[in-house]
Amino acid sequence: MARVTVEDCVEKIPNRFELVMMASQRARKIGSGAPLTVERDNDKNPVVALREIAGDTVEKADLEEELIRNHQRMVAYEEEEEEIDLMDGEREWGTIAAQAQAEGMYADEDIVDDDDDSEPSLEDMAGGAPSGE
């Protein structure tokens, strides 16, 4: 097949919009190094893509899947539940902290909660009142 017309391709993909989308997707794949399924014959990538579609040398389902995947903004995948491994000494640290709390080493009254929501003054931020006054 030396020349390809749109009519040859419309027989394979009846919707012209879909045909354009599929051919452009295949032409991009060819441009990125995908192997050709027909001879190039000094044709450009879009013409080669149309020739491949007209000759049924590429799968329509594969082109549709690539087209959808390339236009997705978020790739949906299912995450597997995996157990998080503890670091060395992390398990022991948990038992030490539990023992310390049971012995009363960390009492709740030792924690000071500053309810003062006002901002510190410039004097406080500078380290107190000037010593020369």
**What are 23-79's pLDDT values in tens digits?**
999 999 999 999 999 988 888 999 999 999 999 899 989 999 988 888 888 766 777
Model confidence at 132, in pLDDT bands (50, 70, 90)?
Answer: low
Q: What distance in Å separates the CA atoms of residue 18 and residue 24, rounded to the nearest whole number?
A: 10
Q: What is the largest CA-CA distance in the chain?
A: 99
Instruction: Provide the whole-model pTM.
Output: 0.52
Every domain of the chain and the residues it spans: 6-33+44-71
